[in-house]
Structure 1
Amino acid sequence: MMNPGNFAAAFSAQMAGEENFKEELRSQDASRNLNQHKVAGHPHSRSLEMLLRRFRAVHTKQDDKFANLLDAVGEFGTFQQRLVALTFIPSIMSAFFMFADHFVFTAQKPYCNTSWILAVGPHLSEAEQLNLTIPQAPNGSFLTCLMYLPVPWNLDSIIQFGLNDTDTCQDGWIYPDAKKRSLINEFDLVCGMETKKDTAQIMFMAGLLIGSLIFGLITDKMGRYPAILLSLLGLIIFGFGTAFVNSFHLYLFFRFGISQSVVGYAISSISLATEWLVGEHRAHAIILEHCFFAVGAMLLTGIAYSLPHWRLLFLVGGILVIPLISYIWILPESPRWLMMKGKVKEAKQVLCYAASVNKKTIPSNLLDELQLPRKKVTRASVLDFCKNRQLCKVTLVMSCVWFTVSYTYFTLNLRMRELGVSVHFRHMVPSIMEVPARLCCIFLLQQIGRKWSLAVTLLQAIIWCLLLLFLPEGEDGLRLKWPRCPATELKSMTILVLTLGEFSLAATVTVFFLYTAELLPTVLRATGLGLVSLASVAGAILSLTIISQTPSLLPIFLCCVLAIVAFSLSSLLPETRDQPLSESLKHSSQISFQKDVALDSSSDGSFRNKVKDIKTKETSSDDMSEEAAKNVILNAQILRLDPYPVSNSALKQFNKEEANSQAP
């Protein structure tokens, strides 16, 4: 039986002899093969698995110059915490303005303005005025878009003989039952003008489409910092200015501007957070930002329910967003983007400032290595998504998943509206449930990574959509499909399934936003996010079109089909957990698009033999101690003559995992 010291020395010497050891340690199959080798009764097997997983993460991190620099700056110090907090408030206001349309088109029952009769009967009550001047339907209700034409009679003659000649409304409309001032009674969007409500939605979608492309290009060309400032400026101008519009066409223009600002901030803020944070801190920041987006939807619902006028809604939102002007002085630029643009001096200044906020000192040798590469960075453009075969494949798969998620989410939301659910319930309850849905992603991402987290959330969405195929659609469907069953119970069941479907999709959106940002290279990260956002908007538009044209099970059936296709295609994406961010197109092209390369396909099989050798020796060395395992890491590190020793944070993390694994 080999003692721990000989095992450590042999293992270290073997690793030192391999020139390509660093690349082989990145392979995800090493972790998978070792995870499959779980011998009952051998507690050190789990220790060795965690050791190698941590060792691989450390080596991966060492390959990323910025990961080393950010470790020296402070992985998640005061600077990074402040940066994450700065992304929360605009996320709240983005949701506020994004969903405001749902609360300013409150349904109002109109009647033709027949105030002409008050000239001959000034003391008539509202009910008497309607009874004399508005035609009635066979069921006794007043018609909303017709009126009796005025006649030069006195009041007694009108009461005695009545009026006969009818026409459409001549002098506008009145809304006697209206409790709130909305866009409908402000601009009289009734009696054939209802289609203008759809026009507002189309303009908002058009703004998302154009904004996705424009802000994606701006963020990559001009930087993350100016793109965020432009989007925040748009929220202030178009959000606050909407409260003062004097025509519906001007309202449409301002909504077009708001939609561009919303998608612009989403793209630029995700890019900035992705490039400033490392490891799980990046995932946590993006998840929390999405949680605050849900908080913004809840805030909007509460404020809209209490305010009596639609203009006050935008005034409140505008006042809340004005303090964001201060971001001009406190928001940093991404050092990764600065380096890709050749701005080495600015990148060093930003990193040194972050280190000073965190009360850290960057070693001079690390900072000196931050130099321009010998070859100038190739200028990237949107055409590279077609020229670069690997990037094109990844983008197409991501666009397909984004399209599916958006189409399914809007379809479920519109289906809930068909069931007669109030607008406040449709937004408040799903928003409340989205917060725990997104927080659950933290656990998923830590345990199974990005790729399988996406698969799990998509699988849940498929299950809920399949259940909806067996439930009736609309209130009429409830009565026709199951006439003997209580309609209330069936309706509640359908609403529950729809809510759970939105729950799963909220988690999917969060996982895939993070996943997309990590898959794309820094040089085209924002542009790629803009392109996949185009697919997302296209899915939303298709959902609106199909729901309005085919009120049947077809939209839900398409949800199932698209979700299954997206689930299948997502398996082709590579895992990004514990991997360095892609900086250039060359680095991005080296990422395998297929399933993780098996160890058996390595050129010399040395790493595969190494793993087998570890397994054999590990099973015959039950007395291997934790100290010997740590010596393996340290000896291998020294023999490889790596200029960056294992960081204290990595060893602390390893000790923490060891303690957790041995806890009863």
Structure 2
Amino acid sequence: MAGEENFKEELRSQDASRNLNQHEAAGHPHSWSLEMLLRRLRAVHTKQNDKFANLLDAVGEFGTFQQRLVALTFIPSIMSAFFMFADHFVFTAQKPYCNTSWILAVGPHLSEAEQLNLTIPQAPNGSFLTCLMYLPVPWNLDSIIQFGLNDTDTCQDGWIYPDAKKRSLTNEFDLVCGMETKKDTAQIMFMAGLLIGSLIFGLITDKMGRYPAILLSLLGLIIFGFGTAFVNSFHLYLFFRFGISQSVVGYAISSISLATEWLVGEHRAHAIILEHCFFAVGAMLLTGIAYSLPHWRLLFLVGGILAIPLISYIWILPESPRWLMMKGKVKEAKQVLCYAASVNKKTIPSNLLDELQLPRKKVTRASVLDFCKNRQLCKVTLVMSCVWFTVSYTYFTLSLRMRELGVSVHFRHVVPSIMEVPARLCCIFLLQQIGRKWSLAVTLLQAIIWCLLLLFLPEELKSMTILVLTLGKFSLAATVTVFFLYTAELLPTVLRATGVGLVSLASAAGAILSLTIISQTPSLLPIFLCCVLAIVAFSLSLLLPETRDQPLSESLGHSSQMRNKVKDMKTEETSSDDMSEEAAKNVILNAQILRLDPYPVSNPALKQFNKEEANSQAP
């Protein structure tokens, strides 16, 4: 009996040491201690409901393997921003004049100024007209100087750019004198690539896996990014930009899915936030390189060379074990988990691996049609599409409004990119304190405030308007970060990437609408639409469930279960407001003693102990 009592006491001491953090929390003020205890109780329930949470605990919650995985997502994010915003630096404004080299046949020693003075018409203010020229005449130079030329026409032999300091697409393909609309065509083509790529890569990521989708997108960045430097026509340039845009959105979808499924809890949030911070770093890097290079082709050459090392991801990038399980590839899932554990210098108990079995219901048949059939999935997709449409439309409208004010292209990218880094880092605090749902609502509310200020600011206050525009982009950067994390957690593993892709369709649609409206309507109407859309998105976001401390949905049937558990957790949290601190602590300790052991099935001694305890307490 004494040995049995010692065994029971030893088990109790092990459980008590496991709950050391809960005992330390009792020393804090009442409200903070109660909140911490309740949060940890929810975390306990989460781990019990998510078998992968226990597995990842055994693998190492955020060990060397996960740290390396997060670091691997940074470099492609930098290159994605590099290629995404390159258009803004290759269409530098150039002042063209008609090519009138025909006069050099009769006056080979004419200076450039004399040539322009004789062959280019002048405006009333004395400046040379950029799109007209005097037609050639069969006279000698003295006659031309004495009598002058009278007959004008549009440029016959192309254009020259005497004041150009850099070689850009504008003077490479003569996008002047009525051809300026092709600049907008390039942006629309890029948005069309985002539109199509969102759908294609969403399907590829869910059907073929996160690993192949990431490799395809990285291969696209290398081929289309490097190849753009060698195009010999503007139409070919548009084709390569179309390919780059698909690769950019493809990597965003597949990398978010992979990080979401490998990481748990706040580590997942931190990884996505840091990935977006490096996206802002990529925009700053692009600005610096574009400012120093004299030729637009060199910009894409540098970007392509920097992207070539991404080929190494073929050998070092892992697949998602959650996706492998959903596809019935149990053996491959176990191999990936064991490899991760070996990198983290951990050992997964064999009985825990044995719990990985094929799901009872076949989930491999999930398709895009399920977004219409499943009510919860349909609601999440529609609400998030509205939010993403609003964010995209507002972001591009603010950027175009800043361009209208005459702000230089380098300022428009450097300053907002610098401010985006702290904006995204602030999301760490928001997500920890108020969760995903209210973080999204707060960032949208900030965007509403800045857009309303823009409506009432007079045009004379140019500096103040630029400041408000910058702060608006600051808020939207935070919204994008929260949005990606929240969307990935709301969607089930079997259709996570497809859902993110469908939602991203709304992003491209919002950007295209912004480009269309701002070029055809007064300046205040696009801003007014920003306010209206932001208010609608804010209202709809309140309909979504919270996902913090909740297990990830694996299949379509799991969505409704998660929604019910969220409601139960809210009821529990409300009823616990009147609970004393000591009672809440007892709930935590009892729950952990009975349930916290991640391997309860494999511990017969503990099962026997619990059985004896129950018998001793029976009447």
- Confirm or deny a common fold (TM above 0.5): yes
Question: How many angstroms does 1:633 deviate by?
Answer: 3.6
Question: How many angstroms does 1:197 deviate by?
Answer: 1.0
Change (3 A) 1:200 1:648: farther
Q: Distance in 2 between matches of 1:48 and 1:27?
A: 24
Change (3 A) 1:500 1:636: closer
SS in 1 for 2:153: strand
Q: TM-score, normalised by structure 2?
A: 0.89
Question: How many angstroms does 1:655 deviate by?
Answer: 26
Is the 8 Å Cα contact of residues 16 and 640 (structure 1) preserved in structure 2?
no
Q: Distance in 1 between matches of 2:165 and 2:219?
A: 34
In the comparison of the two structures, how many residue pairs are matched?
A: 618
Is the 8 Å Cα contact of residues 364 and 494 (structure 2) preserved in structure 1?
no
Q: Distance in 2 between matches of 1:321 and 1:145?
A: 40
Q: Distance in 1 between matches of 2:15 and 2:385?
A: 27
In the TM superposition, what whole-angstrom CA distance separates every residue of 1:486-521 from its partner, at most 9, and x where no partner exists?
xxx711100000000000000000001100000000
Change (3 A) 1:417 1:370: same
In the TM superposition, what whole-angstrom CA distance separates every residue of 1:464-488 from its partner, at most 9, and x where no partner exists?
000000123xxxxxxxxxxxxxxxx
In the TM superposition, what whole-angstrom CA distance separates every residue of 1:14-49 from its partner, at most 9, and x where no partner exists?
x99999999999999999999999999994554344
The equivalent of 1:172 in structure 2 is: 158
Is the 8 Å Cα contact of residues 402 and 535 (structure 1) preserved in structure 2?
yes
Question: How many angstroms does 1:663 deviate by?
Answer: 43
Is the 8 Å Cα contact of residues 376 and 560 (structure 2) preserved in structure 1?
yes
Q: Distance in 1 between matches of 2:403 and 2:196?
A: 28
SS in 1 for 2:467: helix
Q: Larger deviation: 197-206 or 339-348?
A: 197-206
Is the 8 Å Cα contact of residues 19 and 589 (structure 2) preserved in structure 1?
no
Question: How many angstroms does 1:658 deviate by?
Answer: 30
Is the 8 Å Cα contact of residues 45 and 618 (structure 1) preserved in structure 2?
no
Is the 8 Å Cα contact of residues 25 and 36 (structure 2) preserved in structure 1?
no
Change (3 A) 1:28 1:458: farther
Question: How many angstroms does 1:551 deviate by?
Answer: 2.4
Q: Larger deviation: 577-586 or 58-67?
A: 58-67
Is the 8 Å Cα contact of residues 600 and 606 (structure 2) preserved in structure 1?
no
Question: How many angstroms does 1:166 deviate by?
Answer: 1.0
Q: Larger deviation: 230-239 or 613-622?
A: 613-622
Is the 8 Å Cα contact of residues 44 and 592 (structure 2) preserved in structure 1?
no
Q: Distance in 2 between matches of 1:153 and 1:658?
A: 116
Change (3 A) 1:624 1:331: same
Question: How many angstroms does 1:376 deviate by?
Answer: 2.9
Q: Distance in 2 between matches of 1:176 and 1:565?
A: 51
The equivalent of 1:395 in structure 2 is: 381
Q: Alignment identity in percent?
A: 97
Question: How many angstroms does 1:653 deviate by?
Answer: 29
Change (3 A) 1:582 1:34: farther
Question: How many angstroms does 1:120 deviate by?
Answer: 1.1
Change (3 A) 1:512 1:648: farther
Q: Larger deviation: 261-270 or 644-653?
A: 644-653
In the TM superposition, what whole-angstrom CA distance separates every residue of 1:138-158 from its partner, at most 9, and x where no partner exists?
111101111111111111111
Q: Structure 1 unaligned runs (5+)? A: 1-14, 473-488, 592-607
Is the 8 Å Cα contact of residues 54 and 598 (structure 2) preserved in structure 1?
no
Q: Distance in 2 between matches of 1:523 and 1:541?
A: 30
Q: Are 1:319 and 2:333 matched, yes or no?
A: no
SS in 2 for 1:37: helix
Change (3 A) 1:291 1:117: same
In the TM superposition, what whole-angstrom CA distance separates every residue of 1:32-84 from its partner, at most 9, and x where no partner exists?
99999999999455434422321221121121011100010001100000000
In the TM superposition, what whole-angstrom CA distance separates every residue of 1:337-371 from its partner, at most 9, and x where no partner exists?
00000000000000000000000000111111011
Is the 8 Å Cα contact of residues 26 and 56 (structure 1) preserved in structure 2?
no
In the TM superposition, what whole-angstrom CA distance separates every residue of 1:575-625 from its partner, at most 9, and x where no partner exists?
00000000000001333xxxxxxxxxxxxxxxx999999999999999999
Q: Distance in 1 between matches of 2:292 and 2:605?
A: 51
SS in 2 for 1:429: helix
Change (3 A) 1:113 1:623: closer
SS in 2 for 1:181: coil
Question: How many angstroms does 1:373 deviate by?
Answer: 2.4
Change (3 A) 1:662 1:508: farther
Q: TM-score, normalised by structure 1?
A: 0.83
Is the 8 Å Cα contact of residues 26 and 60 (structure 1) preserved in structure 2?
no
Question: How many angstroms does 1:193 deviate by?
Answer: 1.1
Q: Distance in 1 between matches of 2:136 and 2:62?
A: 75
Question: How many angstroms does 1:627 deviate by?
Answer: 10
Change (3 A) 1:393 1:34: farther
Q: Larger deviation: 151-160 or 248-257?
A: 151-160
Q: Distance in 2 between matches of 1:618 and 1:525?
A: 29
Q: Distance in 2 between matches of 1:444 and 1:535?
A: 25
Change (3 A) 1:374 1:455: closer
Q: Larger deviation: 613-622 or 365-374?
A: 613-622
Change (3 A) 1:151 1:616: closer
In the TM superposition, what whole-angstrom CA distance separates every residue of 1:544-578 from its partner, at most 9, and x where no partner exists?
11101102311111111111111111111100000
Q: Distance in 1 between matches of 2:129 and 2:615?
A: 72
